[in-house]
């Protein structure tokens, strides 16, 4: 895609020669300007005709296998994926197989049972033999040497059960009846993090029906290949809580084990037999209504690819010839991306809006907007089109949804799930573009639509001044004690993030500057100050902030500093900002002068340098921007 755009767009201007600095050379203003012009010119070549910048948004290694399983059980694999699709998918999976034969949770991760089993299964469903390149034998050896597929975490067990390669009795219960408990209870799924509840929603439907795909010859083979004992000798009840040590990031609490055992031994027998089976039927009907609402309000994209694949299976189970299933199939291609390493499944339907608004802000910061009017105008039009213009019909609280109108998603308007920081950064970009001449950027966004954006941002502030990603926090931290995933932490409720909180502050501050007489200015002022207080309250003792949406402490600290600076704090009057600068300077790699942070920082929650103490341009940029925003560089020149 990027190669195609680069060739088709071509250079839009004659570029000066690149600047080559000698070692210890001084970067003059002219050198910086030339480099910026070359960078913006190059990046403008990669813009799509509709104004956004296409890009890869992938790296998680359990998503693509979920697609293959979904297509297999719905008997649509060869209809949806051509032989070339399948070839590129196989290439991608092999390219990211670790040297030990397994696959990690993501492309840089060490091998896990979850992704090793899922990717092995995907390759077998794509007709790879046991001896293909020797890689399949190596993969199977890794799985068996580490205890076999009974030690797959719960999400893996679920997909294997749907496929027919693992018995449903080896799963902990996923009762659809949970969606029928009173909403005031903290455990109601509507109070959970939206990504989590929308994965467990279709899971509960398929679990409640005990759906199993057709037992094909490859399914029979997999039953023989994945386990250390014969399939018919597996103790499924014992396997319920089995999890490989390589996967166990979040272990079950004793409370959770009691809950699952009670539901397994008492609850499920009641729901599977009359008269409890009547309640099960009502619960399944209710769950299916929620699934359909999610499908229809996202144009069959769904909030993410995992719940999309699960929803698609549910629609097929209800009616293989349904229009809903056909519409799901049509939108699979929104998630596919081919690159030099093969074809992959994106973690969203893309990052179109996010990349576009940050690009606009970056170009604005260079001062070169007048030299790239076509690029800026295209991007402006795309951002305006991407705003969600109306709430969906009906009572949104019934479906446990926050308001939509005025928000921006991470990707496209079709996606239908506004995000706080995406909305705030889009608002910033739109406001910056309003400052430019109309002949350069086109017509500005209507004030009423800016009001809608501000309204949704204000509506997303939690009582403590913080902001999550999609919704208000609706339940309590202790709900994490019931996190059943084993592989993921902090997935049960909508948590607050320094990044989202900072972006909202910045967006509202810029709006306040340009519209000082807005009718909700008192509410805006209160929001800015409460949010800044929250950012200060969550700063770590070493001066850093933990960033959740990128790697990691450099990213979070950059956002922490930017939010406080926007809210009126300075290096001189804010101890938090001074501590943040001290933290960043303490992580500078000397004598290189850069920063390089590993993904392990996020996983282990301890700042970790890249292997070999290498500097990285991105981490270095974030750290420098934070120091510059804080005024630290000016103070110490």
Half-sphere exposure in the Cβ direction for 411 (13 Å, CA): 22
Residue 374's H or E segment, with its range, is helix 373-386
Distance in angstroms (rounded) separating the CA atoms of residues 169 and 207: 10
DSSP 445: P
DSSP 32: H
- Give the SS3 label for residue 450: helix
State the catalytic residue, choosing from 247, 355, 421, 452. 421
Closest CA to 2 of 42, 40, 35: 42
Which contacts qualify for 473-481: CB closer than 8 Å, 24 or more apart? Answer: 474/190, 474/191, 474/192, 475/186, 475/187, 475/191, 475/192, 476/186, 479/186, 479/187, 479/191, 479/192, 481/253, 481/255, 481/256
Contact 476, 426 (CB under 8 A): no
Distance in angstroms (rounded) separating the CA atoms of residues 559 and 565: 10
Contact 519, 471 (CB under 8 A): no
| Residue whose structure tokens are 């089993």 | 117
H helices of 246-322, in order, are 254-262, 268-271, 276-297, 305-318
User: How many Å is the maximal CA-CA distance in the chain?
Assistant: 81
| Tokens encoding 617 | 């341009």
Half-sphere exposure in the Cβ direction for 479 (13 Å, CA): 22
Distance in angstroms (rounded) separating the CA atoms of residues 420 and 469: 5
Distance in angstroms (rounded) separating the CA atoms of residues 397 and 393: 11
| Residue whose structure tokens are 């794509």 | 126
Phi, psi of 496 (to 5 degrees): -95, 155
Other C-beta atoms closer than 10 Å to the C-beta of 245 total 10
Catalytic status, residue 247? no
| Tokens encoding 555 | 């990213």
- Residues annotated as catalytic (active site), given as ranges: 421
């Amino acid at each position: 895609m990027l190669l195609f755009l680069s060739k088709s767009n071509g250079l839009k201007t004659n570029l000066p020669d690149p600047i080559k600095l000698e070692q210890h050379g001084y970067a003059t203003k002219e050198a910086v300007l030339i480099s910026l012009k070359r960078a913006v010119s190059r990046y403008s070549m990669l813009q799509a005709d509709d104004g956004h910048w296409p890009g890869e948004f992938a790296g998680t290694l359990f998503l693509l296998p979920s697609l293959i399983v979904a297509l297999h059980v719905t008997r649509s694999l060869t209809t949806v994926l051509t032989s070339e699709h399948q070839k590129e998918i196989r290439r991608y999976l092999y390219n990211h197989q670790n040297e030990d034969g397994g696959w990690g949770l993501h492309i840089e991760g060490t091998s896990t049972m979850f992704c090793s089993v899922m990717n092995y299964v995907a390759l077998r469903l794509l007709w790879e033999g046991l001896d293909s390149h020797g890689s399949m034998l190596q993969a199977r050896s890794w799985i068996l040497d580490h205890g076999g597929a009974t030690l797959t975490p719960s999400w893996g067990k679920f997909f294997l059960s749907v496929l027919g390669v693992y018995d449903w009795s080896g799963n902990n219960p996923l009762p659809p009846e949970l969606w029928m408990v009173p909403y005031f209870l903290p455990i109601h799924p509507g109070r959970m993090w939206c990504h989590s509840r929308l994965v467990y929603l279709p899971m509960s439907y398929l679990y409640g029906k005990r759906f199993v795909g057709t037992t094909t010859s490859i399914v029979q083979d997999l039953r023989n290949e994945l386990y250390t004992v014969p399939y018919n000798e597996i103790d499924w009840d014992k396997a319920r809580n089995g999890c490989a040590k390589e996967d166990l990031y979040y272990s079950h609490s004793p409370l959770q084990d009691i809950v699952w055992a009670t539901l397994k031994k008492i609850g499920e027998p009641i729901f599977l037999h009359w008269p409890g089976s009547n309640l099960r039927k009502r619960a399944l009907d209710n769950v299916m209504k929620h699934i359909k609402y999610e499908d229809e309000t996202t144009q069959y994209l769904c909030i993410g690819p995992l719940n999309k694949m699960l929803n698609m299976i549910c629609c097929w189970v209800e009616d293989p010839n349904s229009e809903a299933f056909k519409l799901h199939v049509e939108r699979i291609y929104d998630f596919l991306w081919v690159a030099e390493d093969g074809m992959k499944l994106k973690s969203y339907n893309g990052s179109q809006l996010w990349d576009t608004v940050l690009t606009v802000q970056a170009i604005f910061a260079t001062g070169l907007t007048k030299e790239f009017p076509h690029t800026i105008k295209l991007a402006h039009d795309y951002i305006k089109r991407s705003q969600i213009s109306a709430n969906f019909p009906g009572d949104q609280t019934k479906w446990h949804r926050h308001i939509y109108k005025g928000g921006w998603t991470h990707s496209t308007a079709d996606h239908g799930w506004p995000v706080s920081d995406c909305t705030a950064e889009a608002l910033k970009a739109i406001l910056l573009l309003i400052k430019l001449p109309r002949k350069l950027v086109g017509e500005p966004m209507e004030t009423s639509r800016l009001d809608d954006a501000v309204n949704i941002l204000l509506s997303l502030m939690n009582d403590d001044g913080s902001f999550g990603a999609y919704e208000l926090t609706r339940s309590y931290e202790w709900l994490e004690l019931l996190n059943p995933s084993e592989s993921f932490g902090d997935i049960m409720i909508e948590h607050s993030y320094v990044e989202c909180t900072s972006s909202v502050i910045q967006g509202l501050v810029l709006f306040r500057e340009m519209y000082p007489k807005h009718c909700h200015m008192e509410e805006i002022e209160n929001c800015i100050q409460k949010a800044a207080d929250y950012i200060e309250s969550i700063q770590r003792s070493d001066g850093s902030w933990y960033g959740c949406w990128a790697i990691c402490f450099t990213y979070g600290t950059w956002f922490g500093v930017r939010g406080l600076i926007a809210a009126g704090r300075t290096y001189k009057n804010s101890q938090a900002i001074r501590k943040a600068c001290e933290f960043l300077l303490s992580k500078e790699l000397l004598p290189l002068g850069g920063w390089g942070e590993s993904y392990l920082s996020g996983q282990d929650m301890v700042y970790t340098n890249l292997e070999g103490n290498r500097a990285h341009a991105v981490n270095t940029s974030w750290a420098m921007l934070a120091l510059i925003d804080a005024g630290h560089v000016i103070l110490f020149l």
